[in-house]
Amino acid sequence: MASSSSRRDEAFSSPRRVLITGGARAGKSRFAQGLAEQGPYRNRLFVATAVACDPEMEERITLHRRSRNGLWKTLEEPIRLPERLPKKFLSSGNVILLDCLPTFVTNLLLAGVSPAKIQKRVQRILQLCRQPGLTSLFISNEVGLGIVPDNPVGREFRDLLGAVNQQVAQAADEVYFLVSGIPMRLK
């Protein structure tokens, strides 16, 4: 029978990349945080991409911070990923939760970054998260279930986020789709 340390070593022998997608307010962040808090991780890094641009958003960010109850280190980085991912977290036994891809993509588009360069940044993040024993959780919104946006910027965002979601899903070991707080494992 395997000892608990050998089971832990087996659990951390290969990378685990997980995409969690679904509609807005479907419970994606809570689900991802629960996955990360259940695991025997040495370090947890929450990568927040949101920017507090008004009082309501400031309150949302404050509530998110409180929900992490001291188990997490936080990196608030709206644009400069993957460059700012701390190397000490990119190793075995750690978990990184990136919340969220739609906000990251929006921030980059608004900063004038081309869709091709955005996809290259996402690819670099995925490459960094291939470290043995590292678990990475990516949160996104599913954009293919709604109406076609009525303006070019909206369609560009929808198309780009759809492509990014496919890129991350392809690289992921697991994919979950959340509806009304209920996760369905797709991959």
Does the active-site annotation cover 136?
A: no
Average confidence score pLDDT of the chain? 89
- Reported as a single tens digit per residue, the pLDDT across 4-37 is 444 444 455 678 999 999 998 899 999 999 999 9
Q: How confident is the model at residue 69 (pLDDT cuts 50, 70, 90)?
A: confident
Q: Spell out the domains of the chain, with CATH numbers in brackets.
A: 11-22+30-185 (3.40.50.300)
- Reported as a single tens digit per residue, the pLDDT across 92-110 is 999 999 999 999 999 999 9
What is the rounded CA–CA span in Å between residue 134 and residue 178? Answer: 23
What is the rounded CA–CA span in Å between residue 173 and residue 175? Answer: 7
pLDDT attached to residue 13 = 64
Pick left, alpha or beta for residue 10 (phi over 0 → left; psi -120 to 50 → alpha; otherwise beta): alpha
In degrees rounded to 5, what are phi and psi of residue 67?
-65, -20
Catalytic site residue from 23, 43, 64, 93:
64
What is the rounded CA–CA span in Å between residue 177 and residue 26? Answer: 9
* Burial (CB count <10 Å: 0-12, 13-18, 19+), residue 22: buried
Residues 41 and 94: beta-carbon distance below 8 Å = yes
